[in-house]
Amino acid sequence: MTAMNNPFEAYRQNQYQTATQGELLLMLYRGALDKMEKAKEAIDDNDIVNSHQHLIRTQKIVLELMSSVDMENGGKMAQNLFNIYEYMHRRLVRA
């Protein structure tokens, strides 16, 4: 079903397209938290396939967060934030 046929998908697409940078970052954080919670539930249920899928999705979100850090203009704060994201990504890969 395309966005044109699915009102929820069309709404979501519009939400992404009209969001500010801050709102997009919050969406990424919320998505990462949601996927990590689902991964944890799947791990607790010994559901390897779903836990893997949720962990991979979370890794992709963290990589997107890493790419959003302004390393040229952000100074030490940007480097610290990037290092946190990098640590999170390593831990997700390890999981």
Predicted confidence pLDDT, tens digits, the chain (95 residues)? 555 577 766 656 666 677 898 999 999 999 999 999 999 999 999 999 999 999 999 999 999 999 999 999 999 999 999 999 999 999 999 98
pLDDT confidence of residue 68 = 93
Q: How far apart are CA 87 and CA 93, in angstroms?
A: 10
Burial class (CB in 10 A: 0-12, 13-18, 19+), 58: buried
pTM of the entire predicted model: 0.80
Closest CA to 54 of 25, 26, 30, 32: 32
pLDDT confidence of residue 81 = 96
